[in-house]
């Protein structure tokens, strides 16, 4: 089960940390040997942080490998709807659904060595090739694009360009952008590390 850990405290209260790693597990269970974040455990923890008078802010550490789109968007929407200060810090990688999770926080940061993978919505297994199926994927993708562009400074045109790039990934469509590129594109607010994230949460460096 996911845990929220207290990192430190100030006069206003404590800073808590939530790790979102591996794949985001939704209603379909992942294999036992797959490291995953179970969204049904994370949702009540986020609500508890928002409700607690002793908690000043939330630090979200991200190193994702994709997963259930609906589950990932549910977590992202909860984070985006918080009134308390929130910071996301991408470490290692933010793959697929990790992108909306990163931009959901009030301040998004990325480590210099981290990377983010952006690609169209896809699914494993048998897909029925009918118009309804393609429309379904199109609607899901539009929800992701809308969320990301609403909660970051990247333009819709630039995000779609990164998502549909055919020159970046072997045998796939999409892009991998590293720390500085993520900031330059407007996807992530700034480069930073743990000290920077905590300074923001404790009220130092907030805009």
Active site residue 41: no
130 CB neighbour count, 10 Å cutoff: 9
Cross-strand partners of 191: 110
Q: Is 40 helix (H, G, I), strand (E, B) or coil?
A: helix
Q: Return the HEC string of 130-185.
A: CHHHHHHHHHHHHHHHHHHHHCCCCCHHHHHHHHCCCCCCCCCCCEEEEHHHHHHC
CA distance 182 to 152: 11
- Active-site residue, selected from the candidate residues 36, 96, 108, 185: 96
List, run by run, the mean pLDDT of 10-residue segments along the chain (207 residues): 48 80 76 74 92 93 84 92 96 85 96 90 53 65 91 94 80 85 96 95 72
pLDDT one-digit tens code per residue, 149-197:
999 999 999 999 998 888 776 567 788 999 999 999 999 999 999 999 9
CA distance 194 to 122: 33
Domain definitions of the chain by residue range: 4-201
- Active-site residue, selected from the candidate residues 16, 95, 108, 119: 119
Global pTM reads 0.83
Task: Decide: 96 and 119 in contact? Cβ < 8 Å.
Answer: yes
pLDDT one-digit tens code per residue, 158-169:
999 998 888 776
CATH architecture, domain 4-201: Alpha-Beta Complex (3.90)
Active site residue 96: yes
């Amino acid at each position: 089960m996911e845990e929220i850990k207290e990192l430190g405290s100030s006069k206003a209260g404590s800073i808590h940390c939530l790790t979102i790693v591996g794949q985001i597990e939704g209603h379909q269970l992942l294999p036992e040997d797959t490291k995953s974040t179970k969204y049904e455990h994370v949702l009540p923890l986020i609500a508890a942080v928002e409700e607690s008078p002793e908690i000043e802010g939330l630090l979200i550490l991200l190193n994702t490998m994709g997963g259930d789109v609906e589950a990932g968007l549910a977590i992202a929407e909860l984070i985006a709807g918080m009134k308390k200060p929130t910071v996301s810090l991408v470490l290692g990688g933010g793959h697929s659904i990790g992108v909306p999770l990163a931009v959901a926080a009030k301040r998004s940061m990325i480590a210099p060595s981290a990377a983010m993978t952006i690609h169209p919505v896809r699914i494993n297994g048998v897909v029925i090739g009918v118009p309804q199926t393609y429309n379904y994927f199109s609607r899901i993708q539009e929800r992701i694009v809308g969320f990301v562009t609403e909660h970051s400074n990247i333009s819709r045109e630039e995000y779609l360009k990164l998502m549909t790039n055919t020159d970046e990934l072997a045998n796939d469509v999409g892009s991998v952008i590293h720390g500085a590129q993520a900031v330059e594109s407007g996807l992530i607010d700034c480069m930073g590390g743990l000290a920077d994230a905590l300074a923001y949460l404790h009220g130092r460096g907030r805009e």
